[in-house]
Structure 1
Amino acid sequence: MGKSTSRDWTQIYSIYGIDQWQTLIFLLCQAILFAVLSVLYLLYFEPICVFFERLLSAAAVPAVSARFAAGFTGSVTALSALCLFFAAANFFYSSVPLHYDMAQRMVSAVTDWSSVKLALDLGCCGRGILLNAVATQLKKEGSSGRVVGLDGSKRETLSTLRNAKMEGVGEYVTCRDGDARRLPFPDDYFDVVVSGVFVHTVGREYGPHTVEASAERMRAMGEVVRVLKPGGIGVVWDLVHVPEYVRRLQEMKMEDIRVSERVTAFMVGSHIVSFRKPSQQVMGPGEVRLDWRSC
């Protein structure tokens, strides 16, 4: 959210922290290592050239080739350092600022929150960023509604509830354990279902690009539709596999399917897809629209 002040971002980071901080530290350490190697190549280029000459002399390679090999290796090392620093910066940005911004966009995809009594955050990722965005919107509308966060980790659930209290929306939030492929809720239960960078993790035990994993993701999308009330709104922000979700939603005859422009998150492409469950059964293929307002 570009209008947030530096103080606002300080508060946001203090509440939510960084998910998967081990990955960020790993990327930074690798970037620093390659940067140091690049500096050493620059400072000791001539001795390195001599080393390459001796290394390649056994193969009767010309001396000029040794200098080229040394320069090429140093260039690759420097480029690797730059790429790793960029990856670390993108991971840092995607974990909180982008996640927070996308949560606001997802909330804005629902035009009328005053009539929402029950909402579901499937996956409840990011330590409750999206969950609390929904709860904040319910509080702003003066609604008596509640939002349920579904997460399979008890440790993350405690963190999520603590963050909701820090945001002042604890009374609007509850959490439950469950499997996204078999949601512990009856049919036609929620007015709104949202999910942020979660569905792509469903079925990952089979590998990210297997038929089995794709079937598990489609099962999760089917569960999202099942628990939505007729006329209910679903909003999913996810990585890589959004075209699969769109096809599945078309097969299930969802209405008003909208796909946002591509947004790079965690170094891959992501999109927001929103849809509405028909109030009555609809025949024929669903229509898909690119909704640039969601971007």
Structure 2
Amino acid sequence: MGKTSSKEWTRIYLIYGMDQWQTFVFLLCQAVLFSILSVLYLHYFNQISTLFETLLSIAAVHRGAARFVAGFTGSVTALSALCLFYAAANFFYSAVPLHSEMAQRMVDTVDEWSTVRLALDLGCCGRGILLNALAARLKKEGGSGRVIGFSGPNKARLAATLRAAKVEGVEEYVTCRTGDPTKLPFLDGSFHVVVSGTFLHTAGRGHRAEVAAAERGRAMTEVVRVLKEGGVGVVWDLVHVPEYVRRLQDMKMEDIRVSERVTAFMVSSHVVSFRKPTQHVHGPPEVRLDWRFC
């Protein structure tokens, strides 16, 4: 798949907006502040060096060290500004354009959309980029399929998700529900496809590490439970993907594939896809790297 054009970026931002924009604004303001400090440091370097000489002379430190300390402090300030600008840019890119690109890649992981009648987007993150990508594929196939977006109890966000689906022209294919991702209100084997984008890591957030890990494991178990036999699961998440792979191996899932690392929100992320076996499988499943996600 080609890179998203600037025109497409604009369209995506207009439709979906940007969740957690406060974080982006905070990073950008900090970057601008450190940039201003760096310029001031450069402009008033001699005066600052003199101030350091005065301060260091009290501690009987050699005067030559003052300029080094002043230069080092200025360099750290300038590097901090660059790092903050990079963090802001990465957050801006990850929030929508990268999410859109990864959504399309996740959708492309499923080979037989013509046989899909019911799909689940666990997390329904942001304004529904992944949810609407699934719905658009179902619409393209011309069938009677439907996709359910499931998220936490934020009804205002669900309203925004449904508005975006209407703008994308896929509202008739979309339904949204709220609840606990570790206790999905669906029967066993309800869905042909289950996907989740940067959501499972939020299960158990705020608890101790071992409790949070157990909650993520329960959420992954629920993903497998609601999949039909032969169904496909695709999870894009941050940091904890090796943990999910081990859980999938323990549950004897088939065709487990892990993508190359993708930097999102300044941390590593991967896509793991798998297939639920149609019958009990003996022996450990194979885990492969899938370079289609590169």
Normalised TM-score (structure 2):
0.98
> Given residue 214 of structure 1, which amino acid in structure 2 is its aligned partner?
A
> Given residue 176 of structure 1, which amino acid in structure 2 is its aligned partner?
R
Give the corresponding residue for 1:270.
269
1:18 CA displacement: 1.1
> Given residue 290 of structure 2, which amino acid in structure 1 is its aligned partner?
D
CA deviations 1:191-222 (Å, max 9, x no partner) are: 00000000011100215xx1111010000000
Whole-angstrom distance in 2 between the partners of 1:76 and 1:294: 36
SS in 1 for 2:272: strand
Give the corresponding residue for 1:213.
212
Whole-angstrom distance in 2 between the partners of 1:7 and 1:49: 49
Give the corresponding residue for 1:106.
106
Give the corresponding residue for 1:22.
22
Q: Contact (CA 8 Å) 2:4, 2:97: kept in 1 or not? A: no
CA deviations 1:88-129 (Å, max 9, x no partner) are: 000000001100000000000000111100000000002100
SS in 2 for 1:205: coil
> Given residue 167 of structure 2, which amino acid in structure 1 is its aligned partner?
M
Give the corresponding residue for 2:200.
199
Whole-angstrom distance in 1 between the partners of 2:87 and 2:3: 25
The gaps in structure 2 that reach 5 residues or longer are none
Matches within 5 A, 1:70-219: 70-152=70-152, 153-207=154-208, 210-219=209-218
Give the corresponding residue for 1:36.
36
Whole-angstrom distance in 2 between the partners of 1:4 and 1:241: 27
1:3 CA displacement: 4.7
| Counterpart check, 1:258 vs 2:271 | no
Q: Contact (CA 8 Å) 1:99, 1:126: kept in 2 or not? A: no
Whole-angstrom distance in 1 between the partners of 2:14 and 2:124: 18
Q: Contact (CA 8 Å) 2:4, 2:101: kept in 1 or not? A: no
Whole-angstrom distance in 2 between the partners of 1:12 and 1:123: 19
Whole-angstrom distance in 2 between the partners of 1:77 and 1:6: 32
Q: Contact (CA 8 Å) 1:52, 1:69: kept in 2 or not? A: yes
1:178 CA displacement: 1.1
> Given residue 143 of structure 1, which amino acid in structure 2 is its aligned partner?
G
> Given residue 87 of structure 2, which amino acid in structure 1 is its aligned partner?
A
1:52 CA displacement: 0.5
The percent of aligned pairs where both chains have the same amino acid is 72
Whole-angstrom distance in 1 between the partners of 2:73 and 2:63: 16
Q: Contact (CA 8 Å) 2:132, 2:165: kept in 1 or not? A: yes
1:6 CA displacement: 2.9
Whole-angstrom distance in 2 between the partners of 1:35 and 1:163: 37
How many residues get paired? Answer: 293
Whole-angstrom distance in 2 between the partners of 1:82 and 1:53: 28
SS in 2 for 1:206: coil
> Given residue 156 of structure 1, which amino acid in structure 2 is its aligned partner?
R
SS in 2 for 1:127: coil
Whole-angstrom distance in 2 between the partners of 1:3 and 1:143: 29
Normalised TM-score (structure 1):
0.98
SS in 2 for 1:204: coil
Whole-angstrom distance in 1 between the partners of 2:38 and 2:163: 44
The gaps in structure 1 that reach 5 residues or longer are none
RMSD (Å), alpha carbons: 0.9
